[in-house]
Structure 1
Amino acid sequence: MSDLLDQSIIQDRAQHLVRAAMKAGADSADAVAARAISSSVGLRDGALEENEHSENDSMALRVFVDGRKASISTNTTQDPAILTKLAERAVAMAHLSPPDPFARLAAESDLMDQAKIARRVAALDPADMTVPSTQKLTKIVEEAEEAALAVDGVTKSGGASAGHYLGGVVLATSHGFVGSYLSSRISFSVTAIAGQGTTMERDYSFSATVHADDLKTPDYVGRRAGERAVARLNPAKLETGTYDVLFEPRVATSLIGHFASAINGAAIARHTSFLNDKLGRQVFPKGIFINDDPAVWRGLGSRPFDGEGVDCKPLALVEDGYLNQWILDSATAAELGMKSNGRASRSGANPYPATTNLRLEAGSHTKEQLISGIKDGIYITDLIGQGVNGVTGNYSRGASGLRIKDGKLAEAISEITIAGNLVDMFARMIPADDLTFEHAVNAPSILIEGMTVAGR
């Protein structure tokens, strides 16, 4: 494994690509090289259905010539002559590309130095260097599935799976910046099915972390999947009307995800966001705070620098209800006449703006207190479909969950549609205090009063 994850090898190749591009006539260039190992297993009813393992390298080069850009990617080759030809091809492509006045490397003054990167990596602890065996991953999903099937009312398994990733990334630029780090992910999930025939219901549970020792136990995850599936049995119909809607944390994260999409610099530059004119204005009620923090210890979205080498510092996106920031990389910042705030991400040659560890901060009320104040409402545990218009903010999604009657959770409900507009929904948002950190986007339970619900 030490050879496989030796970043010096891919660092040399990335730097070679950049040098070759500059020699071929590029004004500037950057290259990203990645090297990773990953594995996954899938199981159903105790029988292994999937067992995959991969080890791969990849590289991507971006070049700029006279205000034009081009990019090229490849599975890494060890032959410097081939890398040189790739760089020359990218420069030739750039000469034929249309002008792009905003595409550029990050400003040299914004790039991190090696010493700061090293300190940041040590503080984040972003990689678990222990690679689990197929037998270990299989044991996890076996135990999770067994725990789900042991729940009274669960009739069959919907399957269980586990996966692991460990890899390194190197960024090299013609400014002379070179940054690298390793990262890891491990996760598993299980789906349980309750009931029989046409009355069957399913639900799932999962755990995903950077380090294996932070995972929830298979027994807990399995039991939770089974309990959630059983809780959905015998759903009642709901009359169409206006209801107070409480989103559990697992689905509340989607609301914060819609907010993140709306403040993405790319959407703002294209004028395709319903929040396009809201910077500096109140979007949420007083007391609402939304933060994006790339420096969370062992955070799923943590990173020491962004996809352009810029120091990515914590951002207070919303303070006391007021929208303070767009999510920006260098290109979108230039287009908007602003400065990058270190939110460039990239899965290949071209960066794009994205959040890191995004969270809606906890409120002052417990979930139970919010429920107790609802006379007639819905506790949403699952959302279906993608009925969200990013331009207008119109929101319409299928949902299921539990009825709330006179301040208490009641029977299961399904086949409903909840609708509204995200501008109005954000303005009425009330967060609970049950914030946990299980994703790269996290939120507590969220109450939105007076939503339109279509039932029977």
Structure 2
Amino acid sequence: MLQDLTDRLLSAARDEGADEAEAIAVSATATGIEVRGGRLEHAERAEGVEIGLRVLIGGRQAIVSGADHSAETIATMARRAVAMARAAPVDDSLGLADPDRLAVQRDAAGLELFDPSPEPDPATLEALAMQAEAAALAIAGVRTVEAASASHMRRDSWIAASNGFQGGHLRSQHGLSCTAISGEGLGMERDHAGEGRIWASDMPSAEEIGQLAGERAAARAGARKPPTGAFPILYDERIASGLIGHLLAAVNGTAIVRGASWLRDAMGMQILPDGITLQENPHLPRMSASRLFDAEGLPTQPRDIVRDGVLQGWTLDLGCARKLGLESTASAVRGIGGPPSPGITNVAMTEGSASRDALIREMGRGLVVTSLLGASINPTTGDYSRGAAGFWVEGGQISHPVNECTIAGNLREMLMRLTPANDARAWRNIRVPSLLVEGMTVAGA
């Protein structure tokens, strides 16, 4: 069905006079269940098929999308897209991939991106959410559970282009999360736990997730502001990927083309400590971001973004690569209603030799951050400021929970002063361990 829709879109675009065209069709179903207080709080299900068309005429492009698949609608979409493209500004970097560069391997079965087991029904999802909630409530100190939810998603996508490319990926996703609350009145604190996997058999149990949410919330009881000053900060593993995410955003081709990146002049320079590598591997099985080809039909492959601390290259789609006089890194991603843009798949950071607890002992006095909120980050200078909560460390041991503080620094300096722990988890698309960063500013009491 999806291939037929994309073929019809391409045919309509050709009939209207498009030089090049690219069509995408996506079929998706999603079910979500949320419980609270031992009762069903919310249930939703969404399903449908959406289509999108990108046309290119003489260096101009336009994109249209819709959810109606009738012949009349497809003809109208093509006509409007061509008319819009003819009125758009010229961009010489636009264009499809050369046919001889397209991915040859397009069967993604080896990546195991789809769980063929029966889709869980709403009653099964509700039972899982109930189990998570009950496990959280069983933890001493937990006052209530804000929500526990379970979900399932199936998504089938197909891309076709006038350069001869045809290919798609079928994916599934199981999800489970729980948010627990401890304390009373103005002293209430919340924390959560959640996991998502392609295969149900890879998911942790609902009891494990609920128990972890409860333990995290109970540990936050009695939080207070930390002192103000310059201290070492340990980013807990569950939020450390966000720090590396700022680096990944800064080497994205879109930011580089615009000159709006604090790493715009750092190609070939050291941006992480010696011995640390950031590798992207799009071919890891059972990972939700894995893919054999990108949204422009180019074959993906593993690459080092940073090797031994030195920046190796930008993350590029065809358009950004052409603007910079470089080759695409086969990193294009796109949705139904937007053009291709650079994006990442699975990124892993070199782990250290020390455990999280060993790094806490090494800190002496400082802050362990377990949650972040808000952000003030200057994309051109890397100046960094975020609200934070976590635990205060005295004498190399966790002393008490803290909240309502701000941490600040400069990303380029912070990344050069980090020490990774050895606790990265395998199921993260950005696989980063806990990170100790020296000399940051904490603003608290």
**TM-score normalised over the length of structure 1:** 0.95
Indicate the SS of the match to 2:106: helix
Q: What is the correspondence of 1:182-193 to structure 2 with a 5 Å cutoff? A: 182-193=170-181
Q: Does residue 447 of structure 1 match 2:425?
A: no
- Point out the more displaced range, 327-336 or 85-94: 85-94
For 1:20 and 1:432, locate their aligned partners in 2 and report how far apart those are by CA, in whole Å. Answer: 55
Q: Name whichever of 368-377 and 421-430 sits farther off.
A: 368-377
Superposition deviation, residue 186 in structure 1: 1.2
For residue 331 of structure 1, give the secondary structure of its aligned residue in structure 2. Answer: helix
Quick check: 336-345 or 360-369, which moved more? 360-369
User: 1:247–1:446: 8 Å Cα contact kept in structure 2?
Assistant: yes
- The answer to whether 1:420 aligns with 2:409 is yes
For the residues of structure 2 that align with 1:35 and 1:206, how far apart are their CA atoms?
26
1:438 deviates by 3.3
Displacement of 1:442 in angstroms is 2.2
2:383 corresponding residue in structure 1: 394
1:256 paired to 2:244: yes
Matched-pair contact (CA < 8 Å) for 1:208–1:439: no
Question: How far does residue 43 in structure 1 lie from its aligned partner after superposition?
Answer: 1.0
Correspondent of 2:321 among 333, 357, 361: 333
Query: In the aligned structure 1, how far is the partner of 2:305 from the partner of 2:170?
Result: 28
Superposed, which structure 2 residues align to 1:219-230 within 5 Å?
A: 219-230=207-218
Name the Cα RMSD after superposition: 1.2
Structure 1 outlier segments of 4+, above 6 Å:
none
Q: What residue is the counterpart of 1:403 in the other structure?
A: 392
SS in 2 for 1:386: strand
Q: Distance in 1 between matches of 2:372 and 2:363?
A: 21
Q: Which residue of 2 aligns with 1:305?
A: 293
Q: Using the alignment, how far apart are the partners of 2:133 and 2:3 within structure 1?
A: 42
Percent identical across equivalent pairs? 39
Q: CA deviation at 1:437?
A: 2.5
Of 105, 113, 121, which residue of structure 2 is paired with 1:126? 113
Aligned residue number for residue 3 of structure 1: none
Once the 2 structures are TM-superposed, how far is the Cα of residue 206 of structure 1 from its aligned partner?
0.6
- The reply on whether 1:10 has 2:2 as its aligned counterpart is yes
Does structure 1 residue 101 correspond to structure 2 residue 92?
yes
Q: Distance in 1 between matches of 2:6 and 2:436?
A: 49
CA distance in 1, matches of 2:77, 2:374: 42
Match for residue 61 of structure 1 among 53, 58, 63: 53
Partner Cα distance (2:367, 2:119) in 1: 43
Q: Which amino acid aligns with 1:403?
A: W
Does the Cα contact within 8 Å between 1:204 and 1:228 map onto a contact in 2?
Answer: yes
Partner of 1:143: 131
Take 1:144 and 1:444, find their aligned partners in 2: how far apart are those partners?
A: 26
User: d(CA) in 1 for partners of 2:322 and 2:412?
Assistant: 27
Match of 2:258 in 1: 270
Q: Distance in 2 between matches of 1:189 and 1:275?
A: 35
**Cα deviation per residue 1:295-343 (whole Å; 9 max; x = unaligned)?**
1110121112111111111121011000002111111111111111111
Give secondary structure in 1 for the equivalent of 2:370: strand
Contact 2:283/2:301 (8 A) holds in 1: yes
Which residue identity lines up with residue 124 of structure 1 in the other structure? L
| Cα distance, 1:218 vs structure 2 | 0.7
Question: Secondary structure at 1:426's aligned position in 2?
Answer: helix
User: For 1:387, what is the secondary structure of its paired residue?
Assistant: strand
3-state SS in 2 of match to 1:425: helix
Structure 2 CA distance for aligned equivalents of residues 312 and 148 of structure 1: 41
> Which of 413, 431, 435 pairs up with 2:424?
435
2:177 and 2:217 map into 1 onto residues whose CA distance is 14
Deviation at 1:290, TM superposition (A): 0.6
Q: How much does 1:81 deviate?
A: 4.0
- The corresponding residue for 1:203 is 191
> What's the counterpart of residue 4 of structure 1?
none
Q: Which AA in structure 1 matches 2:382?
A: G
- SS, match of residue 403 in structure 2: strand
- Aligned-pair distance for 1:390? 1.4
Counterpart for residue 152 of structure 2: 164
Residue pair 1:19, 1:174 contacting (<8 A) in 2 also: no
CA distance in 2, matches of 1:277, 1:76: 46
Would you say the 8 A contact 2:171–2:288 is kept in 1? no
SS in 2 for 1:380: strand
User: Cα offset for 1:237?
Assistant: 3.0
Partners of 1:160 and 1:104 in 2: CA distance: 46
